[in-house]
Amino acid sequence: MPQFPPNLQADTISAAEAHSWRESFLHRVLIGAVILGFLAILSTLLFPLNLVLLSVYVVAYLLVIAAAFVKMSYSLRAGILLFILYGIGLNNLVVFGIGAGSARLFFLSLIVFASLLVSVRTSIYMFAVSVATILVIGWLTLSGILPSPSSETPGLWVTSGATFLLLSVTLILALNSFQVQFDRAQERSSVAISSLQMERAQLEGRIALRTQELEQKTSQLRGSTSIARVASQLEDINDLMDTVVKLTAERFKLHHAGIFLLDDRRKTAFLQAASSETGKELIARGYRVEVDRRSAINVVVEQARPYIISTTGDSLINRDTDFPETRSRLTLPLIARGVVIGLLDLHSQQEQAFGQEDAEILQALTDLVAISIENVRLMNDTRALITQLETLTSYQSHEAWLQYSSRRASAYQYTPSGIRPLYDLPEEREAAGLQVPVTLRGQNIGKITLRRKDNTARWNERERELVEKLASQVALALDNSRLVEEAQKSAQRDQLIAKVSSRVRETLDVDAVVKTAAVELRRIFDLKEAEVSVGSMTAAPMPMTGSLVGKTTRRPKPN
């Protein structure tokens, strides 16, 4: 469909609507004429008419039927209707004259329908034709050339003609005024339609632009969500950063994407990951940026907000020797727990590629990436701590069991005659059957040896797994028993210390305290003798000083 200018399109629509109305009006008039004409033909059966007049009516009725039901152009239909009105009016004027017949009525209808169906100018033409017809027929009638009724006089022709002229001029003026008002209303309607069409076009343009922006935002949000989902599944910080910059550059069609991480003092930003080959070369050279007041990175770090740099021509951004093709740059802070830990640096080859809305969407992605990086860091630190704790626990368990086994070695064997202790070390016995180590936190603290009645039978993997599970439970039980035993011994020591302390503190006499200490020590450790001394035994006696010795000896038991 061709597109016209708004005013021309509105005028075309109004003209089409007017033509459609005229076609509908003409069709209704023709249908009404068919119905009324049929009734008029029937009335001639009751009141016979002149044969000539009847013939005219019949021909006119047939023309009306053809115009109403036969497919033809609008102008032909309108011409047929106007011709019928003129023909009937002429026939009535010739037969009945201007006074007795209805010729004037048909001529007035001719003028009115010409204005409604065609135009006011056409109605003027029909008026001129009607007036000329009346003048010609009147002259012929009054001259005796045409027969006329006896009542027709020159005065009647003049009076009726003047009346027709007055009514015709009044109708033409009224129709012209109506046409002018209609044209004005049509013009206002055209202006209103044109304005509505312009507003509609502008609204459609804004809707299309807004739809495009929403689609772009939706695409950016979808890309950010997919990147964040992939980043949250990675557990290695280097893989995480490499994946983020690669996906960000691909999804947002960027020339370069890089991640900087700040040092502990937040004074230097180190490039850790990059999507472009230039960025990877910078990483290999140990590229870093100092956070000073002259750099955009300082604004991002200090104010924790995105920073956009765009160029529309020659500017300082074109002087970047590392990225000479960059025309737009967006730097976003990596914020974790309210602290800037790094930067996401994005480069585009398009001018004005980043806006404030783009920065808001990408900042949401950057926050998720920062959280993922911090979570991976914490996870790695936690794993390192767990590894250290496991190593320390394993070492402590090894030392504890080494000391325990040096003091006490236990080995028992089940035989058909029952349980019996083994006094030689199991490692020194002949290796036979199934041997499974008793392992506790990675340290071997013992061994389980199983022998079948028939030594030739082999042990399958399922039986070995079962014995290994039992060995692990035995290891845990042994360690728990050792811990309980050590706890009991520690409690006994604490109890003895508390008991000795209370005995010693029962008196305030120094000699009594020394004697009590010597007695308790001999008794606790079942000693032959115990000696407690206070002060120097060889020093010369001095006033207010001296040596106190408490000594106790275990008496021999009587035989």
3-state secondary structure of 529: strand
426-445 exposure pattern, b = at least 16 Cβ within 10 A, e = fewer: eeeeeeeeeebebebbebeb
Residues 6+ apart with CB under 8 A from 533: 514, 547, 548, 549, 550
Q: Rounded CA gap, 143 and 159, in Å?
A: 18
531 CB-near residues (< 8 Å, 6+ apart): 518, 549, 550, 551
pLDDT at position 553, please? 57
Q: What b-and-e string marks burial along 113-139, b requiring 16 or more CB atoms within 10 Å of the CB?
A: bbbbbbebebbbebbebbeebbeebbe
- CA 248-249-254 angle, to 5 degrees, is 130
Is the whole model's pTM more than 0.75, yes or no?
no
**Residue in the structure block whose two tokens are 């071997």:** 444
The number of CA neighbours under 13 Å toward the Cβ of 492 is 7
Look at residue 539 in the predicted model and tell me its pLDDT: 47
Cα–Cα nearest to 472, from 437, 505, 506: 437
Q: Choose which CATH entry (3.30.450.40, 3.30.365.10, 3.40.50.620, 3.40.50.2300) describes domain 243-377.
A: 3.30.450.40
The pLDDT profile of the chain, 559 residues, written as one tens digit per residue, is 334 344 445 455 556 777 788 888 888 888 888 888 788 777 766 666 667 667 777 888 888 888 888 888 888 988 888 888 888 888 888 877 777 667 888 888 888 888 888 888 888 888 899 889 888 888 888 787 777 665 667 777 788 888 888 888 888 888 788 878 877 887 887 788 888 888 889 999 888 888 887 887 777 777 778 887 887 788 788 888 888 888 888 888 888 989 988 888 888 888 889 988 888 888 888 888 887 766 677 778 888 888 888 765 544 444 567 788 888 888 888 888 888 888 888 888 888 888 888 888 888 888 888 888 888 888 888 888 888 887 777 777 767 776 766 666 667 666 667 776 766 654 545 556 778 887 777 777 777 777 777 766 677 888 888 888 888 888 788 778 777 877 887 887 777 787 777 777 777 677 777 778 777 777 777 677 778 777 655 544 444 333 455 555 555 554 4
149 half-sphere exposure, CB direction, 13 A CA radius: 14
pLDDT of residue 542: 43
d(CA 253, CA 247): 10
pLDDT value, residue 546: 38
Residue 556: DSSP 8-state: P
Start-end ranges of CATH 3.30.450.40 in the chain?
Answer: 243-377
pLDDT at 117: 85
What pLDDT shows up at residue 431? Answer: 54
Contact between 259 and 342 under an 8 Å Cβ cutoff? The reply is yes
Dihedral sign, Cα of residue 14, residue 20, residue 25, residue 26: positive
CB 518 within 8 A of CB 530: yes
